[in-house]
């Protein structure tokens, strides 16, 4: 048995067929070809699969795909505007906040959830915002610096 | 066998399904159950959900607070009138976990989880159960004690009185990692003062037993005492009484019993 699910992915209406208990992560990666959310632990502990659902960060590995029905899903793939990177992506590059890069899509989406809601966060708020995201190689300091830097760049644009 | 999913319109229908289908599990936020799904747990083959609006309803006006079992930690954190519950809600995972994790699911979370349930215990919450025969309400403490014997009960809501003085409600979670991590232990306390003396103390622990528990000996020792170092000393002395903490990768039972008094003292004296 399969079910149909449709939602907005990075601003574009998409639809897919899925197994009834298939996760959003699996539908994004295997049915819709958006491999930007990563399959890390599938246990909710690494945060590499973090996407935004109606602006809220969720763990797509623990969410049934049909929970996204009719809603707005954002992944890191939708952040760049053609060749122009999002200030978070730019700041991650400039501050060397990615080594292997596996945690980066989740880190950036967790950070985006924060900055969309709170454009001028404190260092503590940044740490809290990425507290569900594990990085095993870069280390957290460059990531925290990059997010604070992105907030400054976004503020300068306003 | 592939998993199937049923979504019911009402809580009663979900309760009836859970009561009759042996291989069914109720799915709320999924932060625990979907882990089992991803691990290939074959002990169930049907996930039951509900669209019942009562399941996600929050009633916070007035003295009696009702939280639908499907209310998430993120929604509690967004509710200014529930500020006294923000510390325990923020204690659950990171932001993405909190947009999914529900109040009801936390009552079923196994050691070392259940920090929010500990807070509800200190608020003397009651649990509303949806059954095939209509709703039923029991004290949370009784619910937790029988939890593993009634795995098929469907929780629809929790209800409790708003603390008359928000400062009388305190919560502290001790973790090995910052800013988040599973509990070495957590403590919630409701300590109303009358004429400078504690009346009707309620203290609850997370991760100090199979389920969150009330610290009855501590409560008795606090009754009628001031919140001073001398006043609380007898309560701190019996902090570990009635506890049976598990040993796990975070801490040994010995350590938990050793440290509970220290954390309790800091919480009571506001040094947390
Ligand atoms: C990375 C991570 C960190 C976490 N950190 C913490 C933490 O610090 N503290 C903590 O307490 N927990 C923590 N958790 C565990 C979990 O997120 C919470 O306990 C949460 O409240 C569980 O709720 P849920 O809605 O996701 O439950 P689900 O996964 O949907 O369900 C859990 C169990 O409860 C049953 N159930 C759920 N709701 C009901 C209901 N209304 N009636 C009957 N049965 C029901 C389900 O059938 C299932 O057996 C963490 C989880 C993850 C993945
Ligand atoms: S893959 Fe979802 S949290 Fe690790
Ligand atoms: S960059 Fe490798 S895990 Fe974070």
Based on the fold, state whether residues A74 and A92 are members of the same structural domain. Answer: no
Question: What is the number of other CB atoms lying within 10 angstroms of the CB of residue B80?
Answer: 8
Q: Which of A40, A105, A133 to mutate to test the pocket of ligand 2 (most atoms within 8 A of CB)?
A: A40
Site residues for ligand 1, CB cut-off 6 Å: A 44-45; B 25-33, 69, 91-93, 97, 100-102, 104-106, 108-109, 113-116, 154-155, 182
| Residues A95 and A66 both lie in one domain | no
- The CA angle B91-B96-B247, to the nearest 5 degrees, is 45
Mean pLDDT of B122-148: 92
In whole angstroms, how far apart are CA A87 and each of A58, A81, A93? 22, 11, 10
Q: Could you report the per-residue pLDDT of B16-52, keeping only the tens digit for each?
A: 999 999 999 999 999 999 999 999 999 999 999 999 9
Strands A56-59 and A50-53: antiparallel
Under the banding of pLDDT at 50, 70 and 90, the label for residue A100 is: very high
Do A69 and A29 sit in the same domain of this protein?
yes
- Are residue B223 and residue B126 in the same domain, yes or no? no
pTM of the model: 0.97
- Residue A107 CA, closest ligand 3 atom number: 4
User: Are residue B194 and residue B256 in the same domain, yes or no?
Assistant: yes
- CATH number at B90 reads 3.30.465.10
- The interface predicted TM-score of the complex, written ipTM, equals 0.97
CATH of residue B264's domain is 3.30.390.50
Predicted local distance difference test score (pLDDT) of residue B179: 83
In the prediction, which pLDDT does B178 show?
82
- Give the Å distances, CA to CA, from B224 to B38, B204, B217, B220: 51, 18, 14, 9
Whether A56 and A100 map to the same domain: the answer is no
Q: Are B18 and B24 in contact (CB under 8 A)?
A: yes
Atom number, ligand 2, closest to the C-alpha of residue A44: 3
Return d(Cα B272, Cα B262) in angstroms, integer: 10
Work out which ligand 3 atom sits closest to the CA atom of A101.
Answer: 1
- In this structure, the answer to whether residues A134 and A68 fall within a common structural domain is no
**Chain B residue closest in CA terms to A46:** B94
- Are A124 and A143 contained in the same domain? yes
Measure B62 CA to ligand 2 centroid, in angstroms.
Answer: 40
Residue B74 shares a structural domain with residue B154: yes
Total of domains in chain A: 2
Among A78, A108, A133, the domain-final residue is A78
Q: What is the mean pLDDT of chain B?
A: 95
Shortest CA gap A1–chain B (Å): 9
Residues 2-31 on B with a CB inside 8 Å of A are 2-5, 27, 30-31
Answer with the one of A53, A78, A103 that is the final residue of a domain.
A78
Interface of A with B in 45-64 (CB under 8 A): 47, 50, 53, 56-59, 61-64
Q: Kindly state whether residues B180 and B234 are assigned to the same domain.
A: yes
Round to whole Å and give the CA distance between A28 and B224.
Answer: 59
Query: Which range of residues forms the domain containing residue A105?
Result: 87-157
Say yes or no to pLDDT of A65 above 70.
yes
CATH number of the domain to which A151 belongs: 1.10.150.120
**Total structural domains in chain B?**
3
* Residue B193 sits at the chain A interface (C-beta within 8 Å): no
Q: Last residue of some domain: A78, A105, A133? A: A78
**Structural domain range at position B223:** 169-268
**Is residue B122 located within the same domain as residue B175?**
no
């Amino acid at each position: 048995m399969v079910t149909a699910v449709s939602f907005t992915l990075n601003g574009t209406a998409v639809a897919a067929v899925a197994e009834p208990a298939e996760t959003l992560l699996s539908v994004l990666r295997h049915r819709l070809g958006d491999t930007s959310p990563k399959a890390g632990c599938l246990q909710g502990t690494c945060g590499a699969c973090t996407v935004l659902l109606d602006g809220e960060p969720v763990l797509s590995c623990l969410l049934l795909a049909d929970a996204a029905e009719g809603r707005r899903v954002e992944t890191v793939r939708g952040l760049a505007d053609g060749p122009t990177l999002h200030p978070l992506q730019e700041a991650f590059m400039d501050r060397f906040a990615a080594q292997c890069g596996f945690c980066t899509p989740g880190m950036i989406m967790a950070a985006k959830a924060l900055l969309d809601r709170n454009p001028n966060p404190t260092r503590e708020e940044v740490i809290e915002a990425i507290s569900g995201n594990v990085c095993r190689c870069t280390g957290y300091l460059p990531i925290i610096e990059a997010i604070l830097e992105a907030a400054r760049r976004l503020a300068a644009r306003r | 066998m592939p998993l199937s999913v049923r979504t019911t319109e009402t809580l009663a229908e979900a309760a009836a399904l859970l009561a009759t289908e042996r291989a069914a599990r109720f799915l709320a936020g999924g932060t625990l159950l979907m882990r089992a799904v991803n691990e290939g747990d074959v002990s169930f083959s049907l996930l039951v959900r509900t669209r019942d609006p009562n399941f996600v309803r929050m009633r916070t006006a007035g003295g009696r607070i009702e939280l639908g079992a499907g209310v998430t930690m993120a929604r509690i954190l967004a509710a200014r009138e529930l500020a006294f519950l923000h510390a325990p809600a923020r204690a659950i995972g990171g932001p993405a976990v909190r947009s999914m994790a529900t109040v009801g699911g936390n009552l079923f979370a196994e050691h070392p989880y259940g920090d929010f349930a500990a807070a509800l215990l200190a608020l003397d919450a009651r649990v509303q159960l949806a059954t095939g025969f209509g709703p039923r309400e029991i004290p949370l403490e009784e619910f937790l004690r029988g939890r593993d014997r009634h795995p098929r009960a469907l929780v629809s809501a929790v209800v409790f009185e708003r603390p008359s003085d928000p400062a009388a409600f305190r919560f502290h979670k001790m973790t090995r990692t910052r800013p988040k991590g599973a509990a070495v232990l957590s403590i919630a306390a409701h300590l109303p003062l009358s004429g400078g003396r504690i009346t009707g103390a309620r203290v609850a622990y997370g991760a100090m037993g199979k389920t969150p528990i009330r610290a009855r000996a501590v409560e008795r020792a606090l009754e009628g005492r001031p919140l001073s170092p001398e006043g609380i000393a007898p309560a701190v002395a019996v902090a570990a009484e009635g506890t049976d903490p598990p040993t796990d990768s975070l801490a040994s039972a010995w350590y938990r019993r050793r440290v509970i008094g220290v954390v309790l003292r800091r919480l009571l004296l506001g040094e947390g």
